[in-house]
Amino acid sequence: MSHSELLCFCGSGKKYFQCHTKFEGMQEPSDRDLHNVDQYVPQERVCYAPDFLRKCNGKIIRSHTIQKKGSLSFIADNGHVIGVKFGDKYNNHIRFDKIGINKASTFYGFCQHHDKAIFKPIEDVDFIASPMQCFLMCFRALCFELYKSRGAVINNDYRDLCCRGQHYREQLTIHENVRRYNAETKSKIHDLEILKRWMDSSISKGVIPKNFAFTVIEYNEQSPFHVSAVISPEYDFEGRQLLELSDLSSFSDRVMISTIPLERKKGCMVLGWNSSFCGASESFVNSFVDQTKLLGFDVLLQSSIILAENIYLNPSWWESLGSHRDVLNDMLEHNIQDYGLNSLKDIQSSGLFDSTEFRFQSFGGG
């Protein structure tokens, strides 16, 4: 049977010759055409405070997932940091570049009232890695990841624009790729919403859930980077697979990661997870700690670049790296595009942080 008689791949219920065949005769979109159409489904700006507290006061603001007055200001030069920048949406080039700290790590996720009220224990007092402080850092990372994921569903208008000037096979490939990507994104959103409901109930009660486990990695020097993210522990640092992410019907475990400076030019990384799930997160964190003991600070930096987009670096330190910059840029682009998480096992020591000393503390878990 000719493909013209087949049902159209877009799901309209019409045959192809009655539907997407018209795109074959259209002119291919220019870069300007692609730039002028929203690639992603627009999302409403809402406050991510738990429903129990949802009496918002004031407009939705740009909330920092990484503290501006502490973390970002410590690594900024002239009000700028180095962060991940994506090229034009039709280009897909990823690189490290300068970003102003007013925009770095921000998202429209909280009203002014709740941004201050919920995170007061980590914004207004010294960070001592108390369970509540670590929980709130993880909660903020989770809210940002959920916000970002909800805004990453590809718009049908953009998909159809890409189909212009393409024949049946090319259009079919575009639709299949978009369908697969959107299914993976919606599965991730579902998993993050489960985690958020778990954390919401504790935020509203002001208590730490018994199944909240976390590890604090403290280091004896000020870090040249800060990160806040939620990652899927698909592989550990030995290359062992911990999760099967291709199974979109099952819940996938998550690890929340955040860094923050401490007094006396020290710093720490917090890794938090729900210990009642499948155990992949705990296995990943244990592997993370073991590898840090073996290779040092490079593990914290390189794994953050591989696993997270919401990472920011000190510009002067970045410029001082020389040829190491190319290595980190390649690591960034390869792994964000290809999800090569199994390359964690390839992390090597650069010798840049040989003098760093660590202290490890773990709470909860198995």
Give the Cα separation of 229 and 145 in Å (integer): 7
Same domain for 218 and 271? Answer: yes
332: confidence class by pLDDT, cuts 50, 70, 90: confident
Q: How many domains does the chain have?
A: 2
Q: So what's the pLDDT on residue 340? A: 45
Same domain for 183 and 244? Answer: no
Q: Is the distance from CB of 257 to CB of 227 less than 8 angstroms? A: yes
In-domain check, residue 90:
no
Q: Which of 205, 237, 254 is where one domain is finished?
A: 205
Q: So what's the pLDDT on residue 351? A: 64
263: confidence class by pLDDT, cuts 50, 70, 90: confident
Same domain for 191 and 217? Answer: no
Same domain for 142 and 262? Answer: no
Q: So what's the pLDDT on residue 348? A: 62
Q: So what's the pLDDT on residue 149? A: 93
Q: What is the pLDDT of residues 46-72, one digit of tens each?
A: 899 987 666 787 789 999 999 988 889
Task: Say whether pLDDT at 339 is over 80.
Answer: no
Decide the pairing of beta strands 212-219 and 266-274. antiparallel
Q: Which of 205, 229, 262 is where one domain is finished?
A: 205
SS3 28: coil
Alpha helices for the chain (secondary structure H): 31-35, 73-75, 112-118, 120-123, 131-150, 156-163, 168-205, 280-295, 297-307, 315-320, 324-338
Q: Is the distance from CB of 75 to CB of 105 less than 8 angstroms? A: no
Same domain for 42 and 110? Answer: yes
Residue span of the structural domain in which 294 resides:
212-363
Q: Which residue has the higher pLDDT, 323 or 11?
A: 11
Give the Cα separation of 346 and 340 in Å (integer): 11
Q: What is the pLDDT of residues 235-252, one digit of tens each?
A: 888 888 888 877 777 778
Range of lowest pLDDT (78-92, 125-139, 339-353): 339-353
Q: Is the distance from CB of 90 to CB of 31 less than 8 angstroms? A: yes
In-domain check, residue 271:
yes
SS3 202: helix
Report which of 83, 86, 146 is spatially closest to residue 337, judged by C-alpha positions: 86
Q: So what's the pLDDT on residue 36? A: 79
Q: Is the distance from CB of 114 to CB of 58 less than 8 angstroms? A: no
Q: What is the pLDDT of residues 66-77, one digit of tens each?
A: 998 888 999 999
What would the mean pLDDT of 297-310 be, rounded to a whole number?
88
Q: Which of 184, 205, 226 is where one domain is finished?
A: 205
Q: So what's the pLDDT on residue 245? A: 78
In-domain check, residue 184:
yes
SS3 188: helix
Task: Say whether pLDDT at 90 is over 50.
Answer: no
1: confidence class by pLDDT, cuts 50, 70, 90: low
Q: Work out the mean pLDDT of the chain and round it to a whole number.
A: 86
Same domain for 257 and 161? Answer: no
Q: What is the pLDDT of residues 218-233, one digit of tens each?
A: 998 888 999 999 998 8
26: confidence class by pLDDT, cuts 50, 70, 90: very high
199: confidence class by pLDDT, cuts 50, 70, 90: very high
What would the mean pLDDT of 297-318 be, rounded to a whole number?
90
Task: Say whether pLDDT at 129 is over 50.
Answer: yes
Same domain for 59 and 182? Answer: yes
What would the mean pLDDT of 114-121 be, rounded to a whole number?
92
Task: Say whether pLDDT at 118 is over 70.
Answer: yes
Same domain for 246 and 332? Answer: yes
SS3 273: strand
In-domain check, residue 2:
no
Task: Say whether pLDDT at 22 is over 80.
Answer: yes
Q: Which residue has the higher pLDDT, 184 or 44?
A: 184
SS3 177: helix
